[in-house]
Amino acid sequence: MGLITYLTRIQFERGAIRLIDEELGLLGAKRPLIVTDRGVVAAGLVGRLAAASRLVAAAPVFDATPENPTEAAVLSARDLFRAEGCDAVLALGGGSPLDLAKGVALLVTHDGPLAQYAAILGGLPRIRADQPPVVAVPTTAGTGSEVGRAALITLSDGRKLGFIAPHLIPNVAICDPELTLGLPPGLTAATGMDAVTHCIETFLSPRDNPPAEAIALDGLRRASGALRRAFRDGGDIAAREAMMMAALEGGMTFQKGLGAVHSMSHALGGRQTRPLHHGTLNAVILPHVLRFNAPACTEKYEALRGAMGLAPGADLAAAIEALNGDLGLPRTLGEMGVTAQECEALIPWAVEDHSTATNGRLVGAEDFRRLFAEALGG
């Protein structure tokens, strides 16, 4: 049996942001650093938190989180944390601010360079518990980072690496579905497909963890019933709530490991030219990995079909492609501006990614070459 840990304190309800001061108080925090991005600020969400929280209203704000969090941004936010005498990190936004916040908390108490703490470089045992507390407040329904033990950060050399340890799990997750009501349709679609991919890939992981598998199937069931509704009507609070729970459940299953979809999207996410949205990458790549994994996952595919409301024997990859189409997402990596030359260079990164070891079927360099070619399209 694999390690089973569910340690995050979670406040999940409509209007949960009213609990921020209470939760910070329980952690002994008096001056948090708010880590967010400019889009969240422009949407008025920092203002909404400030109106609900005395501590947030007086807190310094780091809003320069890039679309894919970078080592440079981690260092800048850490320096602001120290300069302002902060004692906690409050992450507000999607996966990028939440992952950046974890990196900030790590480097407040751990010496650099950041790379030494990456999972594939043997960093897990180097990550200690002596970090400032992190409170995660997601404003999208996709990444699950609010309850996840990982942060994905692009290093200065372009590698997008995973930093994974129990000590990186946020101390508290405040999940308020009302914060996602203003999310645009495109971002609803991309982040929602991130949640779908998490539930599918963690379920297919060969690690033995029945509770995580049950949670993954429940998350997939919720997302399958709610994602199209949330996309069509951003004000559908029931659909928004279901998607936030699906994202949370996807994050709770990360300890089983992910798979080749994430190996490829992590490699592409370190691209130094135009940033690529992680959830969109997952959506485009997922059908191809499902077809690749099919021979090794027969029984599990039937369970996935059931969770998605599909008929026995239905084509899972085709169902995901149809969902992507309904959500207006790209069909291919080529449509996203990715080239064959870039993919060829990224094959070693995909092979080395921490998600590769837990794919539902053994996958190597030639397999990744074929999967990249298929995802690129004609």
Residues 198 and 170 in one domain: no
pLDDT attached to residue 371: 98
In a domain, 4, yes or no: no
Residues 237 and 261 in one domain: yes
Q: Are 284 and 348 in contact (CB under 8 A)?
A: no
Nearest one of 163, 86, 81 to 127, comparing CA atoms: 163
Residues 101 and 53 in one domain: yes
Beta strand ranges found along the chain (DSSP E):
9-12, 32-35, 61-62, 88-93, 134-138, 150-154, 160-164, 172-175
Give 44: exposed, middle or buried? Use CB within 10 Å, 0-12, 13-18, 19+. exposed
Residues 226 and 346 in one domain: yes
In a domain, 1, yes or no: no
Radius of gyration of the chain (CA): 19
In a domain, 322, yes or no: yes
pLDDT, tens digit (0-9, with 9 covering 90-100), for 177-193 = 999 998 999 999 999 99
Q: At what angle do helices 365-376 and 278-293 cross, to 10 degrees?
A: 120
Residues 87 and 217 in one domain: no
The secondary structure of residue 70, as a DSSP letter, is B
For residue 307, the domain's CATH number is 1.20.1090.10
Residues 49 and 173 in one domain: yes
Strand-pair category, 160-164 with 88-93: unpaired
pLDDT attached to residue 1: 36
- Count the neighbouring beta carbons within 10 Å of the beta carbon of residue 337: 12
Give 293: exposed, middle or buried? Use CB within 10 Å, 0-12, 13-18, 19+. buried
Residues 166 and 188 in one domain: no
Residues 17 and 161 in one domain: yes
In a domain, 314, yes or no: yes
pLDDT attached to residue 68: 84
CA distance linking residue 109 with residue 104, whole number of Å: 9
Backbone angles phi, psi at 175, to 5 degrees: -105, 105
pLDDT attached to residue 263: 96
User: How many structural domains compose the chain?
Assistant: 2
CA distance linking residue 197 with residue 223, whole number of Å: 10
What residues are paired with 89 via a beta bridge?
33, 134
Q: At what angle do helices 260-269 and 340-352 cross, to 10 degrees?
A: 120
In a domain, 3, yes or no: no
Alpha helices in 208-270 (DSSP H): 210-232, 237-252, 260-269
pLDDT, tens digit (0-9, with 9 covering 90-100), for 112-127 = 899 999 988 999 999 9
pLDDT attached to residue 192: 97
Q: Which two tokens stand for residue 366?
A: 């030639």
Helices (H) and strands (E) in the chain, counts: 15, 8
Residues 124 and 210 in one domain: no
- Count the neighbouring beta carbons within 10 Å of the beta carbon of residue 196: 28
Residues 69 and 196 in one domain: no
Q: Which two tokens stand for residue 24?
A: 């910070």
Residues 266 and 132 in one domain: no
For residue 64, the domain's CATH number is 3.40.50.1970
Nearest one of 362, 337, 19, 354 to 174, comparing CA atoms: 19
In a domain, 326, yes or no: yes
Domain that holds residue 162: 9-179
Strand-pair category, 160-164 with 150-154: antiparallel
Domain end, chosen from 164, 179, 194, is at 179
pLDDT attached to residue 374: 97
Q: Which two tokens stand for residue 270?
A: 């370190």
Domain end, chosen from 179, 211, 236, is at 179
Nearest one of 358, 349, 271 to 369, comparing CA atoms: 349
In a domain, 250, yes or no: yes
All residues at 6 or more sequence positions from 22 whose CB lies less than 8 Å from its CB, including other chains? none
In a domain, 2, yes or no: no
Give 200: exposed, middle or buried? Use CB within 10 Å, 0-12, 13-18, 19+. buried
Residue numbers of the chain with a pLDDT score lower than 50 = 1-3
Residues 209 and 283 in one domain: yes
pLDDT attached to residue 112: 87
Domain end, chosen from 179, 205, 221, is at 179
